[in-house]
Each structure stands twice: as C-alpha cells, then as structure tokens.
A and B are shown apart, each in its own frame.
Chain A
C-alpha cells in the first residue's frame, strides 16, 4: 500500500451494491485477470474501459452493500483502484477490501466535495483528503491500529503467511 494515493475521481452514488460492482452472473469466474474485466459492470458496462490504475472512487453511503462476494473487492483491486472514499461502507465489503490491502476510507460528507474528474489526494495514515482541483480539504475517520497494521502488511494474506512461517500460528498435522 502506498501512503499517499492520488488520482482522478470517479463519483458514484449511494448504496452501490455488490451486484453492481460485480454481477452474480460472473461469480463463477475465479481467475483475477478475468474477474477484473467486469468491475462495476452492473453499474456501467463501460466503466473498466474508462478507469485507469490509480484512479480514485468517491461514493455516498453504504458502498459495497449486499452480497459477501469477495469478487467485488478483487475486481476493484484488479483494476488498480488507488483508494475508495465513501461516506460509509457495507461491512463485509469493507473487511474484504482491507484484507486485500485496498484502502477503503470512511469520510462523512465526502461525496459533496468532489465532482467526477476532479483530482483527489489521500494520505492513508493521517486520513487527510484533498480535492486538488478545488483546494478543499477533508478529514477521514482514522483507521484503528489493528486495521492499519493489516494495510501496512499489504493485506491479511502476507501477514498470516509471515506468522505461519515464523511459527506464530501452529499448524496441525
């Protein structure tokens, strides 16, 4: 994870559910390179063609509500989202994203501070969000130390892998 994310903003509404982020019809696909081709296909089938790695998603409340399918977080990581800033998140999506090392940043009122195409920069550690286009600054809800630790490890997989290798987690058999 980069400490600072900076990129062009794609502005989405509230209650963007996981069926819009990753439609059910594609869940049987498990290969990441294929999964990423359908990012936000239920919202806008052309989204993946417009989105560039490092771009930032800004959304209203309850982003990622709905199903627990990890595909939703995998697909957004796959297209290289720099950060997702929303007023609030569906909690399973939130956990999935953190586990994959995707910075999901909660900031009340954020969707009113950006227009589509503005440039945003986010300091993941301090939670400072800046609209580079308008100069407006906002402050995100800080991550708990537990979650920050997972993000700093680039997600939970490298973290557990290390703990297993160091014998901090005992494997049976």
Chain B
C-alpha cells in the first residue's frame, strides 16, 4: 500500500484499502474558514445540537479579515456565537492569518493525520505527510456531527524531481511548469506525491508551495514523505504525537513521472488559467499595475525575505503598487524581527493585514478594469482579484518583487 492508503486504512479502522473503494474515516483536524457560514447552517438543518468533538474543530477568520462590509461582519459574529455556544476554543481571530499557514505554524499539520478544511488548497498539508483535502460546507457539517467523512481511495501519481534548481528559480516555477505541461484537469480525483532528490533539498516553505498548487491540477491530496527536514520543523512546532507511514516498495503508481529541473527558467501563468504557462522571458514586455506578494502559496517568511533582498535600498516603479500580505501572524512577526518588512516599506510597499487579502477578490488590493497584476498567489481566473477585465500573471515571489521594481514582468535571475 501507499502511505496515503495506510493513513486512510488506519483512520477507517480496516487492515487495508484499495483504489476506488469508499471508506469512512475519522478526521483528526477539521477546519472551517469564514466564507463557510453555510457549515453552521447545514449543521442545524440536519437537526444536530452538539458538535462531535469541539477540540478537533478550528475556525479561521482569514478571507474577510478584518471585515470590509457589514454582511461579512455579521458572518463573523454568527461564527463567534457558534463557537461560544459549542465550547469551541480554536477560533483563529482576524489577526491570525490564512488557515493553511496557521495550521502549520501552530503545529496542527502532522504526518499520518487526516486534515479536512473547507478550502480547496488543503492539499498543502501533504508537505508534512498528512492526508489532507478540501471539502464544502455540508461535508464539513457532517464531520462536525459525526467526527467522520467518506473518501474514495484515490489513484496516486508520483512526480520525481531530479537535477538541481538553478539560481532564481523556485518551487513555484517548478509547479507552474508542471501544471502547464500536464493541464488543469490532469490529476482530478487523484493524489500526487512529490519525490526525488530535489525534494530532499527543499525547505518546508517551498514544499508547502508545491503541494498547495497541486489543487490547480485538480488533485484531491498531495504527499511528500516526511524526512529530517520535516522532523526538524515538527520538533519545534508539533503539538501532538504523530505516526509516519511509509509506502511499500511494490506499490504501483497510476503514473510515475520525472522532471529534471536543472535547465528550468522562471515561469509565469498567463491570464486566465493556471495551466496557461509560459517561460517568463517571453512576457518581459508586459507592463504591470500591481504586484501582489502573499497567500498560502507565496506569503511565507522565505517569500518575504527574497522580496526584501531584491528591493533592499531600492524603490518600486512609480506606476506600480506592491501589496504585501503576510500569510500569518507568525510570518509577520518573524519578517518584522528580521527587518524584511521595514525594507519593503522603505521600498514603497503597502502592508495589509495577515490573511487572504485580495487573493480571492474580496478586498485589499482589487484590480480595476484592464489592470494587470503579477502575483505570488495560485489562481488567475477571470475576476479572481477583482474586475473580470483584470489580468493576473502568476509567478514566484522573487519575480513579483523584481517586476515591482521595474514596472514590467522581469526575471529575478540576475538579481539573486
């Protein structure tokens, strides 16, 4: 069996599972973010009164944090009341940050766990060897009532990364290249594992970026075998005991692909789909109005550090606004302590609150008609960050910073 299958089997209380089988599993962490008041509605509509286990639930105020409209504020109010009524302690207030980063920071993302969040980028926690997947409100309400959820055991694809990442090229460029190659629907219903020598060199932050974006190829879950890098991170963060599962040597993958990253150049996803990917140098004449650094894909300390390195003692282009949204409170604190935030502010950046910000087109950096944005986020669908006439190019945090400096899409390779 694959490690993912072993997790599902263990949590379903059965000795083994097979591809395509439906299993009912105990969920270890269930997260609800603030777009999902429907979760609470569905809970009551199903006739429930008490949540199964308040300590397994975490509520996140990230998409609206802090609220821009009364409607949003009323949604938050309803959530606060629900948490109070149900004795739920884990309410991550508007200062905490994006759900996925908060789960990692607080040590809830652990190997061998089943993590389910009302958010499509939940495969992010595969970076820690968890089985993690996104669901909608009613599925999550089912977990709130029963503590369990059904899953179909997915086919698993392995992607081996070999070679050596060139300077100025990051996990974000790798995953954009892969999605461009395989397409937005390549892994629908399937799980994706990353393996190979390149993975062993990647930091936790870069691994999270890779896993996060498998959502954009349709993946249900992602997986990276926990190693020393994972364990070092967890030693500082994990708040619980965890089990590491290993894939049997004879496991047969649905597909086994290899990408040599040695010659890879910086990539960009071109409007308006994530699998519309090109080599950055072909788009260097594209003028930008906004550069956006943030999100559960590209808003971690390492991302802010690289932007600060590029913009040290410089000033962004006068026709550009650079919006910086640290992914979490911990990210903001570390970036402040290390001086990165000051460097970025001195360079002309606008700092917004930790959280999702403009990533999903709700507030704090929306695009106007015909405006162009270069963004370290994960989606460039029409209207994703405001006007449906806005254009979003996705790239690495280094590319975002470099482009903010020049006012056009620009490769960071020479600056690093």
Contacts and interface: CB of A to CB of B under 8 A. Distances in A.
B120 A67 contact: yes
Contacts of B255: none
Contact of A70 (B22, B38, B50, B382): B38
Contacts of A20: 381-383
A108 interface: no
Contacts of B355: none
Nearest to A150: B150
A92 B220 CA distance: 8
A68 B381 contact: no
Interface residues on A, range: 35 or more
Contact of B49 (A88, A96, A100, A171): A171
Given A27-B362, A28-B75, A95-B139, A42 B388 contact: yes
B117 to A, nearest CB: 8
A68 B136 CA distance: 5
A28 B146 CA distance: 27
6 contacts: A24-B360, A24-B383, A61-B185, A68-B136, A70-B136, A90-B188
- DSSP class of B's interface residues: helix, strand, loop or mixed? loop
A70 B137 contact: yes
Interface residues of B, number: 51
A165 B47 CA distance: 8
Nearest to B49: A171
Given A27-B362, A69-B136, A146 B22 contact: yes
Contacts of B329: none
Contacts of A49: none
Contacts of A172: 50, 52
B104 to A, nearest CB: 19
B65 to A, nearest CB: 13
A66 interface: yes
Contacts of A68: 118-120, 134-136
A64 B127 CA distance: 25
Interface stretch (A50-58, A120-128, A156-164): A156-164
Interface stretch (A2-10, A11-19, A109-117, A129-137): A11-19
Interface of A: 14-15, 17, 19-20, 23-25, 27-30, 42, 61-62, 65-71, 73-74, 88-93, 95-96, 99-100, 144, 146, 155-157, 160-161, 164-165, 169, 171-173
B327 to A, nearest CB: 18
B334 to A, nearest CB: 28
A65 B184 contact: yes
Contacts of A165: 47
Given A91-B189, A96-B136, A66 B69 contact: no
Nearest to A25: B361
B10 interface: no
Contact of A88 (B48, B138, B188): B188
Contacts of B134: 68, 92
Given A28-B71, A95-B139, A99-B136, A15 B189 contact: no
Given A19-B384, A70-B38, A144-B22, A95 B47 contact: no
